[in-house]
Structure 1
Amino acid sequence: MAGISITVSADDLVTAGLDGLVARADDMSGAMDEIGGMMTTSTRHRFEMGVDPDGNPWPPSLRALAEGGQTLVDRGHLRAAVTYQATAARVRQGTNLVYARIHQLGGEIKRQARTQTIHRRLYADGRLGERFVKRTARGAVATDHAVGAHTITMPARPYLGLSTADRAQAGEILADWLTGAW
């Protein structure tokens, strides 16, 4: 063969490919950030649908039944507080709201006996209204009432977690990251 030639062996290609793969596997923060974003989107979708990661409907809350609203979505604070942290090797999703755990896992809330102040309207004829009013409302009168100790049982309404589709999508994100297609 006249001129010049170069020879590349399969060993050279495999070594270079593996070196690149190892380098990308050392810091997967980009992929973890992408997975965290996907998890947040999926969790917000679950709030819209009222389902857990497996697609099972949440038990309806008394407030949602009484007001015709959505379970776990009164003012949207819980949904808005779900965030994630991505590192080079993992992603962690959660919220810092104190009531988030009881909604995710369920459980019992033990309430101590206490005195509760309520405000009702006092009408001109001396009758006390049956409905609660704001303490600043015109004609509002404060009365104290004893509330006995009681236990509230909250059913679990999981909103955090990965569905089967989420796991598959996370696997695709990782595969794309590792192969350099991302």
Structure 2
Amino acid sequence: MLTIAINDEAFRDLLQTLQNRLQDMTPAMTGIGAEMESRVSRRFETRTDPTGKPWEKWADATDKSYPRPGTPAAIKAGRSGNERLLDRYGDMLQGLSYQAEAGSVRVGFDQSYATFHEFGVEFGKRRMPRRGLLMANPQAGTLAPDDERAVIDVLGDFLFQQ
């Protein structure tokens, strides 16, 4: 067995501080949640998935049925859409949020149909392409490299703040 004795008081203090911070990582999880919420929100503006791939345009049928001002679809809905992919009325983007706890953070939407956009779906001959928001690969549950680096940066800032 190898035993290492550290006689440097500053180093011991740093290790003790790190150990104390690891007891409740809520501030780090809050930072990760805020960072990811911001990144996902920007994807609505750039219309790209987490890897930078552009979202596919609307299908012709979707475009034709879109609730533009004065159309039957807008009248039926009682409001016009804003003509942005995945942001017809702003409901999904407004439902983006995160919940941070001592050892975890959840980032997501309060609209159940966000899942269809994240994974893409096929029903019969119809297909809705994936327009990813949260994950680079939703089947594997992995983040994009840029998102991973951002999370690591938040953790580093949390662990080594003075």
TM-score by length of 1: 0.64
Q: What secondary structure is seen at the aligned counterpart in 1 of 2:133?
A: coil
Distance 1:43 1:165 in 2: 12
Q: How do 1:15-26 residues align onto structure 2 when only pairs under 5 Å count?
A: 15-26=12-23
In the alignment of these two chains, the number of paired residues is 133
Unaligned segments of structure 1, at least 5 residues: 1-8, 111-150
CA distance in 1, matches of 2:113, 2:95: 11
State the AA in 2 paired with 1:160.
L
Q: Which residue of 2 aligns with 1:85?
A: 99
Give the secondary-structure state (helix, strand or coil) at the position aligned to 2:12: helix
User: Is 1:173 matched with 2:147?
Assistant: no
Aligned to 2:43: 46
- The corresponding residue for 2:26 is 29
Work out whether residues 105 and 156 of structure 1, in 8 Å CA contact, stay in contact via their aligned partners in 2: yes
Structure 2 counterpart of 1:83, which letter?
S
Q: Partner of 1:61 in structure 2?
A: 58
Query: Is the 1:78–1:100 contact (alpha carbons within 8 Å) kept by the matching residues of 2?
Result: yes
Q: Distance in 2 between matches of 1:165 and 1:155?
A: 23
Q: What do residues 34-53 of structure 1 show as CA deviations (whole Å, max 9, x unaligned)? A: 11111111111001111000
Distance 2:53 2:147 in 1: 15
The equivalent of 2:116 in structure 1 is 102
**SS state of the match for residue 108, structure 1?**
strand
Native 8 Å contact 1:64 1:71 kept in 2: no
CA distance in 2: counterparts of 1:18 and 1:25, whole angstroms = 11
Gaps of 5+ in 2: 1-5, 69-82, 136-142
Structure 2: how far apart are the matches of 1:13 and 1:98? 50
- In the alignment, is residue 158 of structure 1 matched against residue 132 of structure 2? yes
Which 4+ stretches in 1 moved above 4 angstroms?
A: 63-68
Shift of 1:17: 1.8
How far apart are residue 103 of structure 1 and its match?
A: 1.1
Deviations along 1:1-54, whole A, 9 cap, x unmatched?
Answer: xxxxxxxx7343332221111110121111111111111111110011110000
What residue identity is the alignment partner of 2:152? Answer: G
Deviations 1:153-179 (A, max 9, x none): 211111113443332222122112111
Query: Is the partner of 1:94 in helix, strand or coil?
Result: strand
**51-60 or 98-107, which moves further after superposition?**
98-107
